[in-house]
Structure 1
């Protein structure tokens, strides 16, 4: 099974012509996801557990297959690296609840670590065990990746984190002395 680059959805402009998809459903696998990531020009690694991960500066997105046979699930899970304090968790939950109400994906939730730091995780899933259309798989995966990136931008704007990032950069000493 192969993905034609012209089949990757173009969300920025005119719709591109879609080639004929394979007849019948396909059961996606890691090789198909690798091919899709390469065509999207995204770097990826395979972690110690065998999952694909695409790293960004402030987060990393994993492409995971779980379950067996008809119950197999494809999950795109994004781990956002920005730490939040436990004191900010209530406000953070209100913010991500707003996101979750207004968008389809990724659904975002918090994870509180033993040290009291709070991080966010975004997730979208698709049942693939009985097969899916290749076009649906490609367009969903591309949309989920783009939405994960957009969530990070939205969070930075909504919480005013861009100012914090700019200020911390401005506070660093100039090495060109």
Structure 2
């Protein structure tokens, strides 16, 4: 199965000539996600658990498949690396509640580590076990990646953390900057 490059929203680079893809539902897999990330010109790694991850300077986005058969789920989960103190948690919760009310994805939540640091995690999921349209899968995945980047920029603005962002507003994986 191949991705029609013209179906990828304008994320980076120009679309390539039209290729013919499957006409019915597909069950996405890791190879399809790798192909999509390559066409989006995003670097990725495969972690020790076999999950794909695209690293940015302040966060990393994982592309994971969980479950079996008809219950299989594709999840795009972003771990924001910027640490926040426990005393900031109530302000963070107010901000991410606002984000979660106003946007469809990623839905963001906090995780408090044993040392008291609070980090944020964003997530979007799609049930894929019975198959999905390739176009829907591609457009959703691209939108989720873009929204993960936008959330980080939005949070930086909301919390006045502009010093943490490169002056050029870097939105590429940290290897490509």
| 8 Å Cα contact 1:21/1:135 also seen in 2 | no
Tell me the distance in 2 between the aligned counterparts of 1:103 and 1:2.
30
- Structure 2 residue runs of 5 or longer lacking an equivalent are 167-177
Deviation per CA, 1:136-161: give whole Å up to 9, x if none. 00000000000000000000001101
Unaligned runs of 5+ in 1: 167-177
Residue 54 of structure 1: SS of its match in structure 2? strand
How does 1:70-81 map onto structure 2 within 5 Å?
70-81=70-81
Q: Distance in 1 between matches of 2:44 and 2:19?
A: 26
Give TM-score, length-normalised by structure 2.
0.87
Please give the TM-score of this superposition, normalised by the length of structure 1. 0.87
**1:86 touches 1:117 (CA, 8 Å); kept in 2?**
yes
Q: CA RMSD in A?
A: 2.0
- Cα pair 1:111 1:120 within 8 Å, conserved: yes
Larger radius of gyration: 1
Structure 2 counterparts to residues 5-154 of structure 1, below 5 A = 5-10=5-10, 21-154=21-154
After superposing on structure 2, the runs of 4+ consecutive aligned residues of structure 1 that deviate more than 3 Å are: 17-21, 163-166
Matched-pair contact (CA < 8 Å) for 1:86–1:118 = yes
User: Aligned in 2, Cα 1:164/1:134: closer, same or farther, shift over 3 Å?
Assistant: closer
Deviations 1:37-57 (A, max 9, x none): 000000000000000000000
| Structure-2 change in CA distance of 1:59 and 1:164 (3 Å) | closer
What is the distance in 2 between the residues matched to 1:62 and 1:104?
A: 18
> More helix by proportion, 1 or 2?
1
1:39-94 Cα distance to aligned partner (Å, 9 max, x none): 00000000000000000000000000000000000000000000000000001000
Aligned residue in 1 for 2:155:
155
Equivalent residue pairs, number: 163
Offset of residue 4 of structure 1: 2.2
Paired residue secondary structure (1:119): strand
